[in-house]
Amino acid sequence: MTNSYEEIKDNDVLLVIGSNTTETHPIIGLEMKKAVRRGAKLIVIDPRKIELVKWSHDHLQLKPGTDVALLNCIMNVIIQENLADKAYIDERTQGFPALARSMERYTPEYGEEVTGVSRENIISTARLYARASRAGIYYTMGVTQHTHGTDNVFAIANLALMTGNLGRRSTGVNPLRGQNNVQGCTDMGCVPPFFPGYQSVASPEVKARFERLWRTTLSSSPGLTATEMIDAAAGGNFRALYIKGENPVVSDPDMQHTVRALQSLDFLVVQDIFMTETALMADVVLPAACFAEKEGTFTNSERRVQRVRKAVDPPGEAREDSWIIARLSSSMGYDISYDRIEDVFREAGKAWPALGGMDYHRLEHKGLQWPCPTRDHPGTPYLFKGAFPKRIPAFTPVDYRPSEELPDSEYPMILNTGRELFNYHTGTMTRRNKAVNLVSPGGYVEIHPADAREIDIENGRMVRVSSRRGSIKVQVRISSRPLQGTVFIPFHFIEAAANMLTNTAVDPIAGIPELKVCAVKLESMETTGVLKSRRSHD
């Protein structure tokens, strides 16, 4: 997030795009409700009628995967009606004329046709957002898990920039991070192109600096992303994987593809707290300590680095991940050992100046938000105050591209996947809780009443949902939440695994898979009626 939780309540307009905030980030959801109570206008852009819609002033129920078209049309209206922040654009950005030209064809009429959102709603949203004095945009995987996920984010950034909603309190471009330490894991360099702190492995100076810091020689060849590694393995071109605290069999697209990839490896090490579906396939399984059994830090969505503290001992011989990694490294002949875990954090601060001013003592209460470069720096509640670092940001014009796999006569429905309130990710933690299992016992497919009528299926019955990748049996939940012609399946439930169906097509820049859109068909398990979509996608 460019901005902070505490600023949400002071937004006067909130644009929530592709984020089921009250279920997936409940506490941030509370801040949004607080803002609405204080008079803010909330616009929800989502193909599902999520709970937050009850709090919204408008719900733009777009067709899945048409976000760029919708956002461009909103920008078109802002430009046409002279609502852009000219002073901000002149002073702090570049490339606006090219963007303005590229928006010309995105008329509200075009938007209505492509996205299904009415012309009037597009215009009113554009006016509302552009005229706001403190407008914040909030988004999650509904924006990013597309083959045009990066384009979606560019479009959001363009919108915020042209209205001057970046670099001030209660504004910003705010991706809400899905897991407790996604932010930190990325910050720490667990991404192929970057050393810790987003420093490019391809830069000779950066590489030389890390070689000095670590007293070693390093590779400058670009690494593979997770999806690329799985693809390489499935193609027989990859030999070994060391998987720590992830369960890709359940979380990655196209489960059979993932299974085949992992089976093709010569050697698989899985380090986890439970015997996950992925660990079942491993050659070596290493038992790890969980969050309550170790010291360290997590970084949350608002870039706040906070202390994690040991409360109990790990069971049996389970050990902290850091201990396991350091010992394994020694066995390979490379010493990365440390005396105290804080030494590792301090080394990260040396590697990346944004953490340089932090230590465990300063993080003791409530933590600090990076960047925090010096010992007396108070941390940064919102980014880009006054100026952008390094270079002036340019607008990045993007054009609408349809999703990779659209419905057709054989697979007439769109499948959307995601989380629900009670369960979490692949369910390894939450599904071991008896109470959670009572309120959320298993998988389901949300289907619009009109679609349910068409295949003559009743609530609670089983259906077979199939895509080109696979097929699952799952219980029907008739609901007005999904857009007609689309269905939703949560991915927590292995016995009705949504990721049996999803598509491995990825965004060309970020490598993120298109988990939010693929084509499926539904068949009633009692009768053989196949649902024909009346939507205009095919």
Element (H, E) at 475: strand 471-478
Asked if 223 and 201 count as a contact pair (C-beta separation under 8 A), the reply is yes
Residues 342-371 that bind another protein (CB under 8 A): 344-345, 347-348, 351, 366-367
Binding flag, residue 328, another protein (CB under 8 A): yes
Tokens matching residue 316: 């049996």
Binding flag, residue 325, another protein (CB under 8 A): yes
Least Cβ distance, residue 416 to another protein (angstroms): 15
Binding flag, residue 76, another protein (CB under 8 A): no
Least Cβ distance, residue 353 to another protein (angstroms): 15
Residues 221-260 that bind another protein (CB under 8 A): 221-227, 229, 232, 237-246, 248, 250-252, 255-256, 259-260
Binding flag, residue 7, another protein (CB under 8 A): no
Amino acid letter for position 88? Y
CA dist., res. 242 & res. 236, Å (int): 17
CA dist., res. 169 & res. 160, Å (int): 13
- Which 3 state secondary structure label does DSSP give 126? helix
Is the Cβ of residue 257 or residue 535 nearer to another protein in the bound state?
Answer: 257
| Half-sphere CA count of 54, side-chain side, radius 13 A | 9
Taking CB under 8 A as the criterion, the residue among 94, 133, 203, 329 binding another protein is 329
Is the Cβ of residue 88 or residue 274 nearer to another protein in the bound state?
Answer: 274
Taking Cα atoms as reference points, which of 142, 80, 138 lies closest to residue 107?
80
Binding flag, residue 68, another protein (CB under 8 A): no
79 phi and psi angles, rounded to 5 deg = -70, -50
Region of 95-103, 217-225, 403-411, 523-531 interacting with another protein (CB under 8 A): 217-225
Residues 87-126 that bind another protein (CB under 8 A): none
| Half-sphere CA count of 209, side-chain side, radius 13 A | 16
Is the Cβ of residue 285 or residue 394 nearer to another protein in the bound state?
Answer: 285
CA dist., res. 358 & res. 350, Å (int): 10
Task: Characterize the bridge pairing of strands 13-17 and 41-45.
Answer: parallel
Taking CB under 8 A as the criterion, the residue among 277, 446, 454, 523 binding another protein is 277
Region of 84-92, 155-163, 316-324, 519-527 interacting with another protein (CB under 8 A): 316-324
Tokens matching residue 471: 């097929």
Taking CB under 8 A as the criterion, the residue among 2, 3, 20, 24 binding another protein is 24
Is the Cβ of residue 95 or residue 442 nearer to another protein in the bound state?
Answer: 442
Least Cβ distance, residue 467 to another protein (angstroms): 9
Region of 81-89, 126-134, 193-201, 454-462 interacting with another protein (CB under 8 A): 193-201
Separation in Å, CA 33 to CA 20, 42, 139, 254:
13, 9, 16, 36
Region of 41-49, 128-136, 151-159, 263-271 interacting with another protein (CB under 8 A): 263-271
Asked if 363 and 305 count as a contact pair (C-beta separation under 8 A), the reply is yes
Taking CB under 8 A as the criterion, the residue among 334, 456, 527, 534 binding another protein is 334
Residues 504-533 that bind another protein (CB under 8 A): 510-513, 515
Separation in Å, CA 388 to CA 97, 110, 166, 203:
20, 34, 10, 22
Binding flag, residue 494, another protein (CB under 8 A): yes
Binding flag, residue 56, another protein (CB under 8 A): no
CA dist., res. 220 & res. 218, Å (int): 7
CA dist., res. 513 & res. 230, Å (int): 12
The single residue listed with the structure tokens 């298993």 is 442
**Number of residues binding to another protein, judged by CB under 8 A:** 170
Tokens matching residue 34: 């607080």
Is the Cβ of residue 79 or residue 515 nearer to another protein in the bound state?
Answer: 515
258 phi and psi angles, rounded to 5 deg = -65, -45
Binding flag, residue 410, another protein (CB under 8 A): no
Binding flag, residue 38, another protein (CB under 8 A): no
Is the Cβ of residue 97 or residue 460 nearer to another protein in the bound state?
Answer: 460
Is the Cβ of residue 333 or residue 386 nearer to another protein in the bound state?
Answer: 333
Region of 21-29, 77-85, 92-100, 105-113 interacting with another protein (CB under 8 A): 21-29
Tokens matching residue 131: 């005229």
Task: Characterize the bridge pairing of strands 304-308 and 296-299.
Answer: antiparallel
Binding flag, residue 389, another protein (CB under 8 A): no
Please name the residue ranges forming H helices in 132-235. 141-144, 149-162, 182-187, 204-214, 226-234
Binding flag, residue 411, another protein (CB under 8 A): no
Least Cβ distance, residue 534 to another protein (angstroms): 27
Residues 449-468 that bind another protein (CB under 8 A): 466
Is the Cβ of residue 395 or residue 488 nearer to another protein in the bound state?
Answer: 488
Least Cβ distance, residue 180 to another protein (angstroms): 5
Taking CB under 8 A as the criterion, the residue among 16, 17, 28, 77 binding another protein is 28
Least Cβ distance, residue 319 to another protein (angstroms): 7
Residue window 147-176: x/- pattern of binding to another protein, with contact defined by CB under 8 A: -----------------------------x
Asked if 330 and 312 count as a contact pair (C-beta separation under 8 A), the reply is no
Asked if 170 and 136 count as a contact pair (C-beta separation under 8 A), the reply is yes
The single residue listed with the structure tokens 């029907």 is 476
Tokens matching residue 497: 């695994």
Q: What is the DSSP letter of 319?
A: B
